[in-house]
Amino acid sequence: LHVETQLGEGVSVPVDGNPAHYLISVMRVKADDIVLLFDGRSGEWAAKARDIRKRDLVLEVVSRTRPPEDVPDFWLCCAPIRKGRIDLVAEKACELGVARLQPVLTRRAVVDKLNLDRLYAHLVEAAEQCGRTALPELGQMAKLDALLRDWPEGRWLFFADESGGEPLADTLKAHPGPAAFLIGPEGGFDPAEREAIRRVAKAIPVSLGPRILRAETAAIAATSAWMTINGD
């Protein structure tokens, strides 16, 4: 179970709302039962259930069961897309192990606002489901030109270019180390954006194959490929 409280031995975590309902009514947790907790930063902790009432309980942290997790240094930078589809990207990016999910506003984006609270909730749910204890960072929406202007020197910027680029697997293999993938919106990147991206010193245009993938498919396929090749 994910909690916002910073965890440590002896910390008491009051739980109510949906998580309490899940523990009390679905999991039928009893006094002194152990519940596993994570706060997204400090690994996984065992906590004892106590003060169980109808709608709330307290979890008292006993000991750490897993150390803080090492996450591969990979960012997924993607343009905002329609609600259900960006939710899917958040869920899969978390499962696949990204360190950061960075929304990027581009000219042809059909959506220009994202509900970051909802996206964060999807990241948390995916982390709970896949046993990940370190939550991905979720960036505020950044404009593409600002993101490119401040691009960190030591990070590859693999740019999924539907108009053609380097072959994926060989390119990823040849460029290990901190990286990001940039994926465009439903309408793709416009020519001026493509030019601007290619001017970033660390940018490498790559192809995801001969077919035009939906933005969410491209995001998941690119992340999965990077994780397979460079993710240990």
213 is an interface residue for ligand SAM by CB under 6 A: yes
Name the residue nearer to ligand SAM (CB basis): 154 or 210: 210
* Contacting range for ligand SAM; rule: CB under 6 A; set: 35-43, 86-94, 120-128, 201-209: 201-209
Name the residue nearer to ligand SAM (CB basis): 73 or 186: 186
CA angle 189, 97, 5 (to 5 degrees): 115
Q: What is the DSSP string of the chain?
A: -B-SSPP-TT-EEEE-HHHHHIIIIIS---TT-EEEEE-BSS-EEEEEEES--SS-EEEEEEEEEEPPPP--SEEEEE----HHHHHHHHHHHHHHT-SEEEEEE-TT-S-----HHHHHHHHHHHHHHHT--BPPEEPPPEEHHHHHHT--TT-EEEEE-TT--EEHHHHHHHS-SSEEEEE--TT---HHHHHHHHHSTTEEEEE--SS---HHHHHHHHHHHHHHHH--
Query: Per-residue x/- mask for ligand SAM, residues 146 to 165, rule CB under 6 A?
Result: --------------xxx---
Name the residue nearer to ligand SAM (CB basis): 43 or 139: 139
Applying CB under 6 A, among 22, 192, 209, 228 the residue interacting with ligand SAM is: 209
For ligand SAM, the nearest residue by Cβ is 184
Query: Counting beta carbons within 10 angstroms of the beta carbon of residue 127, is it exposed (0 to 12), middle (13 to 18) or buried (19 or more)?
Result: buried
Least distance between ligand SAM and beta carbon 21 (Å): 39
Site for ligand SAM, residues 165 to 194, rule: CB under 6 A: 183-184, 186-189
Name the residue nearer to ligand SAM (CB basis): 95 or 161: 161
> What's the half-sphere exposure (Cβ side, CA atoms, 13 Å) at 136?
35
212 is an interface residue for ligand SAM by CB under 6 A: yes
Query: Per-residue x/- mask for ligand SAM, residues 80 to 99, rule CB under 6 A?
Result: --------------------
Name the residue nearer to ligand SAM (CB basis): 176 or 209: 209
d(CA 133, CA 92): 15
Applying CB under 6 A, among 218, 220, 225, 231 the residue interacting with ligand SAM is: 218
139 is an interface residue for ligand SAM by CB under 6 A: no
* Contacting range for ligand SAM; rule: CB under 6 A; set: 39-47, 83-91, 111-119, 214-222: 214-222
Q: Which residues bind ligand SAM (CB under 6 A)?
A: 160-162, 183-184, 186-189, 207-209, 211-215, 218
